[in-house]
Structure 1
């Protein structure tokens, strides 16, 4: 005789349990996808910035030993721009995959709609907003200021470090030129060095097989130390030349005096921007706020655009969503430009842009959550086509 085993389910707690399972699954999927997307976006950004910095190092404008530090600082300054895009794309990818695998259909049969999915994503978006705020208000300006200081410091010591081999470089003050045939195997090693110096009426040419940069521990003065070379004293047309062979020859390198750096407005601390009467600083403050306020709007857009109908391509919503993101970003840039020109009041900031796109996001979300087409004329067109089919 068969025995039936029943499991008692409390109908009052079942919806809460179902919602808890859904929230955990959704947040886990979005978090994992965000990590993957961030790796891709960060990798692309690193390659682009690294190529630019190496190009500057080859030109001698950036010291080679500063490339890694500048690359790190540049990356930190872009984090507040990367994170919103990362979260936006991640939510789109997760929701699109769920819709393609009919998981949303199953959840919908259980009474779970877009409104239920919005709550955990909004909480996740608030956490992301807090992270973006920390970078936008503190770490990004700090990294920009430090990068500027590093670049300014490099101007005073670019004679030796960061030089490009095979190119003539002027010495500071126009006192001569130097030429490096190639870099040595060591970190501070130079090979086949040529130096032409001119002091008043005296001229001299110095050549060496090897050279390196030295610093006096007592005075912190910097020297170019040449080894195993010769010095030729005398100008063109002179009959008497002095030739001197040496095992070691040091040439003091005059460095530019470090002056107080006036930071760009992007590198000014946020606390110094608050309450400032300078329009440029007020615009920068609104720009930092805009990078934070964009996150919740993008979360709503991502969930709304993830709705894909059967008759549409699986990539149609992704393309529309990305186009909306770039439109949003461009409108923010336009709004910032209008503030800088004085065409819009500074007190208004960029809130009008956020307001327009927030209304658009809520509209798209409402239409999709009620299974309505994005625009009503689509429904009319489908109705007209159906009527024509009946007449036939």
Structure 2
């Protein structure tokens, strides 16, 4: 490796490490604050905050690495122009295209790491996050009916009291419930109970062997019922809440699905997720290429405008990938087109900007001499 390549590679590595560390610290700070807020609100358990933060960071690493590489290449090229180091390299017989090799030597391993994260590590991390939340939801279901406490639901129409379990395997011991219905007042007793959640989000207290006594207020009518299993609803989600919960669960499931399963069951949602996983490694290489001509600035001019333009261009790139992902889900854009269209556009843009920077301008012709 020549002196030039070693210098460029070392500087990009240094800048990338600083940017990556900064972005990761900022991400973790914001994430932990949000998770602590969820824990304070009772949405998650305080004991799973660190685990969720670790797995969520794994899912964010592909984007953080992409941004870190883009900023590292951009700042390296910009510094060379600002400190008049680039004319020295040009005077040595090098051109802007000679920067491509050391940049790609750094970008290709980063792209491979991003590919490993998006295709394998991130789905596993999403699966762990979903499992953490499901475990907490199951624990929170049991906490709605706590041994030794009276619990009211449905504006006091249902009142439950449970004892501690006496047999191994039981979630709750003896249970007494009072249920007020439009025509009947019911008292239910059972030897054991357990919490069950249906697919639509309704939660039931499933009672074991017991008795039910029904009394119609104002009349001497009384009914007695013996049962082996009896379910009482303790919480019902609204249609909008159940629909939103179902959407979130489906989204988590598709993110946690292994990449091989996305190939085997290619519906629109699976194809959109597959496109996203394939897009990020390609975006790493394109962003590294685009950063090279965007970093070529005039040292006599301010640099804020160039950096702003570069940031907006990278943001547009990622947003177009997300937009293509949504179009694939809705069937507007076919997968075979969406998987390469945005990358081809930005590859063409990067090559066009690079050609514009390296081309030699034609000398201006002198104007016609003025008439004597």
TM-score w.r.t. length of structure 2: 0.70
1:22 equivalenced with 2:11 (yes/no): no
Q: Tell me whether 1:145 sits opposite 2:127 in the alignment.
A: yes
Aligned length, in residue pairs: 293
Shift of the 300–257 alpha-carbon distance from structure 1 to 2, 3 Å rule, reads same
Give the one of 258, 272, 289 matched to 2:261.
Answer: 272
- Once the two structures are TM-superposed, the CA of residue 255 in structure 1 deviates from its matched residue by 5.9
* 2:26 maps to 1:44: yes
1:103-118 maps to which residues of 2 (within 5 A)? Answer: 103-118=85-100
Structure 2 vs 1, CA of residues 91 and 141 (structure 1 numbering), >3 Å: closer, same or farther? same
- The superposition leaves residues 67-107 of structure 1 with CA deviations (integer Å, 9 ceiling, x where unpaired) of 00001000001111111111000111111112111111111
CA deviation vs aligned residue, 1:259-288 (integer Å, no higher than 9, x gap): 9x9861011001111142322111111111
Task: Give CA deviations for 1:159-198 in whole Å, capped at 9, x if unaligned.
Answer: 79xxxxxxxx84379x7349xxxxxxxxxxxxxxxxxx95
Partners in 2 of 1:123 and 1:304 — Cα distance? 17
Give 1:199 deviation, angstroms.
4.1
User: Could you tell me the TM-score, scaled by structure 1's length?
Assistant: 0.67
Q: Which runs of 5+ in 2 are unaligned?
A: 153-157, 173-191, 200-248
Partner of 1:70: 52
Partner of residue 232, structure 2: none
Using the alignment, how far apart are the partners of 1:65 and 1:31 within structure 2? 36
CA positional deviation for 1:316: 2.5
SS at 1:312's partner residue?
Answer: coil
Matched ranges for 1:169-318 at <5 A: 170-171=144-145, 176-177=150-151, 198-199=159-160, 219=168, 264-318=253-307
Aligned counterpart, 1:155: 137
Q: State the Cα distance separating 1:315 from its structure 2 match.
A: 2.6
Tell me the residue number matched to 1:83.
65
SS in structure 2 opposite 1:108?
helix
Q: CA deviation at 1:54?
A: 0.8
Q: Identify unmatched segments of 5+ residues in structure 1.
A: 1-18, 161-168, 179-196, 205-213, 224-251, 373-378
Q: How far 1:254 sits from its partner (Å)?
A: 5.6
Contact 1:73–1:147 under 8 Å retained in 2: yes
SS for the counterpart of 2:2 is: helix
Partners of 2:122 and 2:49 in 1: CA distance: 18
Task: Say whether the 8 Å CA contact 1:170–1:176 is kept in structure 2.
Answer: no
**Number of the residue aligned with 1:364:** 353
Check whether the contact 1:153–1:258 (CA below 8 A) recurs between aligned residues.
Answer: no
> Is the contact between residue 62 and residue 154 of structure 1 (CA under 8 Å) also seen in structure 2?
yes
Distance 1:156 1:253, change over 3 A: farther
**CA shift digits 1:125-169 (9 cap, x unpaired):** 111110100001000110001100110011111379xxxxxxxx8
| Whole-angstrom distance in 2 between the partners of 1:256 and 1:57 | 23
Query: Where in structure 1 do 4 or more consecutive aligned residues deviate above 6 Å?
Result: 220-223
When residues 215 and 33 of structure 1 are mapped into structure 2, their CA distance, relative to the original with a 3 A threshold, is: farther
What is the DSSP-based 3-state SS (H/G/I as helix, E as strand, rest coil) of the residue aligned with 1:97?
A: helix
Instruction: Select 1:337's aligned residue among 309, 323, 326.
Output: 326
